[in-house]
Amino acid sequence: MTTKPKGRRLSGITLIFALMVGCAALPHKPEAPRVSITAIELVEAGILEQRYQVKLRVQNPNDFDFAIRGVQFEIKLNGQSFVTGVSGNPVNVPRFGSAVLDVEAVSTLVGLTRQLKEMAESKTPAASYGVTGKVHLAQPAISLPFHEEGEIKLPWLEGQ
């Protein structure tokens, strides 16, 4: 039976120890952010496409800063696609904090017409909405999905 030289055994133990310490130093998988809509403003209305400025509040539930390098999202009203958007503007969201992202979004004439028709035919003065997408982090270089739902009041339908 042969035995390993002391130097090799010590190198092996040192390697295992270094791997254990290295893995412990890596942050665990980040929790997904909470993303909510704070404002939507119509910027340009064309015949085939409408552009909006959307403000999204990103809340970071993690114990480390998020360095966001991009975001992609879709907003649905009453289960139907309303607008989609992307942004490559970097923003830092502090640990256990929040930041507001200004992003551009677009809708089509068909989608807008369908939404307006459904709202006009609705008997309730509110609409359900959902915002779904991903934030792309710089470090670690991963994408985190998000999905939030809620309801908005439509004051012009309250008197019907």
Tell me the pLDDT tens digit for each residue of 55-66.
999 999 999 998
Q: Looking at residue 148, what is its pLDDT?
A: 94
**Residue range 24-74, pLDDT digits in tens:** 444 567 899 999 999 999 999 988 899 999 999 999 999 999 899 999 999
pLDDT of residue 24: 45
Quote the Cα angle for 46-47-49, to 5°: 60
Question: Looking at residue 117, what is its pLDDT?
Answer: 73
Q: Where are the domains of the chain?
A: 34-157
Domain 34-157 grouped into CATH 2.60.40.1820? yes
Q: What tens digit of pLDDT does each residue of 97-155 get?
A: 999 999 999 998 777 677 777 766 766 677 889 999 999 998 888 999 999 998 887 66
Contact in structure between 143 and 114 (CB atoms under 8 Å): no
